[in-house]
Amino acid sequence: MQQQVLGGRYLLKDKVGTGGMATVYRAQDQVLNRTVAVKIMLPQYAGDATFAARFKQEAQAAAGLSSPYIVGVYDWGKDGDTYYIVMEYLRGTDLKSGIRSHGALDPKKVAQIGSQICAALSVAHKHEIIHRDIKPQNIMVLPDGNIKVMDFGIARAKNSHLTQDNNVLGTAHYVSPEQTRGQELGPTSDIYSLGVVMYECATGQVPFDGDDAISVALKQVNELPVPPSQLNPNLDADLERIILRCMEKDPANRFQTADELRQTLNAYLAGRQVDVPEPTRVIGAVPAGGAGATETRVMSDQTQAMARPAGIGNTAVRSGSGMSSSASGGADPYGGKKKGGKGKIVAGVVAALAIIGVIAFAAFSALNSGAKTVTVPNVLGYTQEEATEELRSLNLGVKTSSGYSDEYEEGEVMSQTPSGGLQVEEGYEVEIQISRGPEPIKTTTVPDLKGRTREEAEKLLEEAGLVGVASEASNDAEEGTVFEQSPAEGEEVEEGSTVTYTVSTGPGTVSIPNVVGDGENSALGALEDAGFSVSREYEYSSRVDAGVVISQSLTGSAMPGTTITITISRGPEPDTSTPDTPATSPDSPTTGEDEEESAGAA
């Protein structure tokens, strides 16, 4: 890539990522001599006045936020037709990649991450800024395990006019129900999204999935999540209640502030009693797989513009506006009323299905009011035979599967769906998962990263099932290539292990030894050991002993390989006059020989 300098100051090095609105580069701040991240608006948006305004708003808003858990914004500007933001350069990996690599996280780690995100949101909310795009891709996990919240690219100040459009921005897996409806957003919307993030951290999967953004967003509105403990039996009840309270459909039922949620998470981390009410539950038994369960599908991680179905949030008809639901209608050319858009059809179908569901449930309850129900026993830790016998004794069906577990011995029940204590009808099929014991340790060979670019190194590590943590340092290796790694190439390590590697920023300057007053050989050795070439000159000096350095051409610091010229004393200049012969005046017309003859004659 041809090197480019933005604003006469930021030298772009290499691309580190692309988001929904911008590309991010690693760059060198040539004024403060530090590595920074520069976010440059994508070309298709740079000419759009609305997006340009939103981009500048991001910089102005984020620059005012100061927290150890928020990525720092240093500068922003416009270079030609390009808008850019200069941010803190982070070393680490995003939370989404971490979940993909490691699966469900330890409950305490989930709470710690949630608490730190709360700290970041608390600062933003006090500035009346709602993030609106909290998701694992926007959470950077640093090498020390702490996090920083990134990307206020679609955040907005409370009274910003920039969001009054026909799109709901955000990633569908994490948007709140009110964001899907296009309603006014507040702090509780970010808290909902944070609840989804903690759910994914705790279970390794998102609560709602589907074929497209619209179907996922509608599930956020209409379906309750499967309790995370059904997906991860190691999750305790306190943390589950915290997560599900964040994900309540009604904002009034959630934690109302980030500070309130953080205090609760910190109490949980400290082992204190957590007073959180039971979350909203599905009426009746939860079917195997849960109310919100769907086939797992891989969707794009990029933030996308998601069309808001008209009518879902009743945004077209406002209270007191004096406009009826048909105010924008009229006869179409065929004599009928003008048809609504696709969004209205979707909304109508959803509403109809909801009504039908209520009616069907009522009818089903009436017809089966005499059906016998039983309480599902808790069979965790039972052998397969014991669990099967216990369930069948209650006229319940049994479906088995298996998996690895560090907690349960081989042959014991490690999870069950539904959980023990739920009321179901006789004949209901309970799924139990039988432990195969601890998962065998999978090993992999550490690839050779030396000489590779950062992107090539990350690809090799990903293919090997390893996690890379990069740093930078000056080195004689080609700029932008790896020159050091640990563990070394060829070593066998456990899959998921971390490999640290160092990328060269090119040869840096080094201090020049001061060799004035040193002997010639000593000075030569000192300069060459420091990486410099040496040129020698000699001159007479009545003040400096022979063989001692009188001066050097450069001091301070310079690039390795620079030539340093040292001047070495020859000692005093020798006297060229003849001994015992008086010195004659420069004006004397006679020679010394003539003088001797004259003296003898005298």
Contact of 508 with 474, CB cutoff 8 Å: yes
d(CA 140, CA 91): 9
133 included as an active-site residue: yes
Which residue type is seen at 569? Answer: S
Taking alpha carbons only, the member of 180, 208, 181 closest to residue 195 is 208
Query: For residue 294, how far is the Cα from the chain centroid?
Result: 27
Sequence-separated (6 or more) residues with CB below 8 Å from residue 392: 398
Contact of 480 with 507, CB cutoff 8 Å: no
The string of DSSP codes covering 391-413 is: HHHTT-EEEEEEE--SSS-TTBE
Contact of 194 with 116, CB cutoff 8 Å: no
Bind-site residues for ATP = 39
Helices 237-246, 258-269: inter-axial angle, 10-degree rounding:
170
> How many of the other CB atoms lie within 10 Å of CB of 300?
10
d(CA 552, CA 518): 11
d(CA 222, CA 67): 36
Rg of the chain over Cα atoms, rounded to whole angstroms, equals: 37
Sequence-separated (6 or more) residues with CB below 8 Å from residue 137: 94, 95, 96, 171, 301
**Of 29, 81, 94, 133, which residue is the catalytic one?**
133
Find the length of the chain.
Answer: 602
Bind-site residues = 39
Strand partners, 331: 337
Residue 235 DSSP one-character state: S
Task: Assign 205 to helix, strand or coil.
Answer: coil
> How many of the other CB atoms lie within 10 Å of CB of 342?
12
Positions annotated as catalytic residues are: 133
